[in-house]
Amino acid sequence: MQPLFASEPSIEDQLYRILNSTRPEYAWKLRRYFEEHWEPSLSFQNEGLDGFREKTHFMVRKLLQADLLSLAELNQKPSEYMKFCEHSCWIDGSVAATLFGHFLIFGGSLVFLGTERHRSLVDVADDFRLPGCFCMTEVGHGSNLAGLGTTATYDAERGEFIINTPSWRDAKWAIALLAWNARVVTVMAQLYMPDGECKGIHSFLVPVRDEEGRPLPGVKISDVDWLIGLNGVGIGGAMFEQVRIPRENLLNRFADVTAEGKYVTSFDSPGDLFRAQISPLMIERLVPFAVAGMKIALAVAARYGKERRQFGPRGGPERPIIEYSSHKRRLMPGVAETYAIAFMLERLHLEADVTMPEPLPTPLQPLCASFKAYSYETATRVIQNARECCGVHSFRHINKIARAQLDMHGFAHAAGDNVVLFQYAGRILLEDFAGGKGPFKEAAEPDASACSVTCVKHQELFAARFSQLLDYTRGEFMKHMGEGMNRGDAWNEILTFAIELGRAYAIRETHKQFLRVIGACAPGPAKDILTELCELYGWSTLSANLGWYRDVSDGSLELSALFVERTVLEYSQRLAPKLDLLVDSFGIPEVLLPAADLMADLPGKFS
């Protein structure tokens, strides 16, 4: 590896730096760690369920004990966790999701919702000595947190909370690590005071297993068993039967029950308190599962495309499949989308670093929500496509790409259901009469003079589609209200368009961020490549929804279906010779990649 800060960095290193612009040195440190310390044997073969979980948790422990990450600093440098998570995804989605469940959301609940009195737990959670998990979801309630059924009733005489699950429908469910080794969990529950008043959702620390891993009295733990993906995590459920915990186990940063049994909070409205209590969950929307999956899937497909030969001229050698124009068309737009999504994520990580430990500012919330959904739905398509480009050899779990595809299905719901997030973003954008302008306080509009004319025209189309949807959807909502419909029913009528509005917003902002990156790039080959990639991203995004863009076009860009498809193909062909460079710049350590031909273990099978 060439040093990252070589006086004349190669194009690959320049792209790597831009792809990791929030913390390039830290990303580099992780890359070196894997190159130097990660054994090839630390990979998954064909383990059964228990073996898979055992190995996943072994790897998580090894990673957290490598002194690369600090839980106490999560609320100051969340972007370090994000880079760490990206590298762990390249080991396997189960490793990343276990880290997510333990470190980000359980550990995050301690540092974002807890206070000094929970500090000792931060130290033992930091290196996985105390595995924990975060129990929000229930059998009967997922996205609608306000409807959770688990209760925490305060017993003033004993200074304790009693955690209870009224029925199996209120059992905690789909909780990462709970089926395997979590010993303490953060439980989200409705807080009831002794007079019967409900104070809404609060978070409580509840021990669930003893040191030997046996469930504690009153705690019934279950396993959700085989899932589509992420089977190494140990996803489980739990019921609590009148489990008593000390008063101090309430995570009390925003609200508390005093030793005298008095409920105190600095928030005036229950709505604001609820938003504060769930604010740490915002950060989970910035987790890079999607982009990490896209990167490894494309890297695998690019390498395989060069190795794999099929058909060819009569009597001559077979041709590498990457030489087929259709193959380039299948892969290159996904590469452009990966760069676009990576750039936006870097920007959001920077924002999180600057803002934390305070909650992300309100204008960023619709962007975080819609971008999470947009990036995951894009990743699901791109990874599927890349896997199909590798044929039957991609079908085997040990070659990683199938697993990346399967794991992505879980991530469509974890960290917020994609569709619910789009509509959440749509609702805020509709209510905000500034119309989603300026989510980043410190980021100027892109400098049009530093971008190509094509890029500028694409941005105009993305912006026009967003504006049209905003005006139309708002108009429809007002019309329904004017006709006497109540808010809930009027909202239900426009839901499909509100979701599309969220998607259009994410696309407009993602493309805009790409333009900012190009604008900040010094003239040279790296900038030229990024400009072409951005143009391809623009064209292929238009091609997926051409009708919408024709509706808002001013006619200055040809948008016939044939022309757009030809253009996407031309860009794909032109950029294909740079495919190696583009995927090598992702910086995936070689030890985490399968053999280029996806056949490393096959000779042994036939010897």
Ligand X SMILES: Cc1cc2nc3c(=O)[nH]c(=O)nc-3n(C[C@H](O)[C@H](O)[C@H](O)COP(=O)(O)OP(=O)(O)OC[C@H]3O[C@@H](n4cnc5c(N)ncnc54)[C@H](O)[C@@H]3O)c2cc1C
Give the interface with ligand X as residue ranges (CB under 6 A).
97, 101, 105, 133-137, 142-143, 174-176, 230, 235, 410, 413-414, 417, 419-420
Nearer to ligand X, 174 or 360 (CB): 174
**How near is the Cβ of 421 to ligand X at its closest, in Å?**
9
Nearer to ligand X, 91 or 526 (CB): 91
**How near is the Cβ of 287 to ligand X at its closest, in Å?**
12
Nearer to ligand X, 171 or 507 (CB): 171
Cα 497–Cα 279–Cα 293 angle in degrees, nearest 5: 65
Three-state SS annotation for 35-50? HHHCCCCCCCCCCCHH
Nearer to ligand X, 420 or 552 (CB): 420
**How near is the Cβ of 425 to ligand X at its closest, in Å?**
13
Nearer to ligand X, 174 or 526 (CB): 174
Nearer to ligand X, 132 or 439 (CB): 132
**How near is the Cβ of 471 to ligand X at its closest, in Å?**
22
Nearest-CA neighbor of 551 among 543, 559, 539, 561? Answer: 559
Three-state SS annotation for 453-483? HHHHHHHHHHHHHHHHHHHHHHHHHHHHHHC
Task: Tell me the Cα Rg of the chain.
Answer: 25
**How near is the Cβ of 139 to ligand X at its closest, in Å?**
9
Nearer to ligand X, 16 or 422 (CB): 422
- For residue 54, count other CB atoms closer than 10 A to its CB: 16
**How near is the Cβ of 424 to ligand X at its closest, in Å?**
9
| 189 beta partners | 202
**How near is the Cβ of 77 to ligand X at its closest, in Å?**
23
**How near is the Cβ of 420 to ligand X at its closest, in Å?**
5
CA gap 236, 379 in Å, rounded: 26
Nearer to ligand X, 488 or 555 (CB): 488
DSSP string, 164-221: E--SGGGSEEEETTTTTT--EEEEEEEEE-TTS-EEEEEEEEEE-B-TTSPBPTTEEE
Q: What is the DSSP letter of 318?
A: P
CA gap 512, 418 in Å, rounded: 22
CB within 8 Å of 379: residues ≥ 6 apart:
289, 290, 291, 293, 294, 341, 408, 411
CB within 8 Å of 581: residues ≥ 6 apart:
11, 12, 15, 529
**How near is the Cβ of 289 to ligand X at its closest, in Å?**
10
- Cα 6 to Cα 17, 114, 364, 388, 545, distances in angstroms: 12, 43, 36, 38, 43
Element (H, E) at 284: none
**How near is the Cβ of 414 to ligand X at its closest, in Å?**
4
Cis peptide before 131 (omega within 30 of 0): no
- For residue 433, count other CB atoms closer than 10 A to its CB: 8
DSSP string, 73-135: GTTT-HHHHHHHHHHHHHH-HHHHHHHIIIIIIIIHIIIII--GGGHHHHHHHHTTSS-EEEE
CA gap 483, 476 in Å, rounded: 11
CA gap 533, 3 in Å, rounded: 26
Give yes or no for a contact between 166 and 149, defined as CB atoms under 8 angstroms apart. yes
Nearer to ligand X, 135 or 389 (CB): 135
**How near is the Cβ of 67 to ligand X at its closest, in Å?**
25
Cα 78–Cα 84–Cα 85 angle in degrees, nearest 5: 90
CA gap 512, 344 in Å, rounded: 9
Nearer to ligand X, 431 or 442 (CB): 431
- For residue 500, count other CB atoms closer than 10 A to its CB: 20
Nearer to ligand X, 376 or 549 (CB): 376
Nearer to ligand X, 299 or 373 (CB): 373
Helices 487-520, 453-482: axis angle to 10 degrees equals 170
CA gap 440, 301 in Å, rounded: 35
**How near is the Cβ of 53 to ligand X at its closest, in Å?**
14
Nearer to ligand X, 26 or 477 (CB): 477
**How near is the Cβ of 423 to ligand X at its closest, in Å?**
6
**How near is the Cβ of 239 to ligand X at its closest, in Å?**
15
Nearer to ligand X, 425 or 568 (CB): 425
Residue closest to ligand X, measured at CB: 142
CA gap 334, 113 in Å, rounded: 38
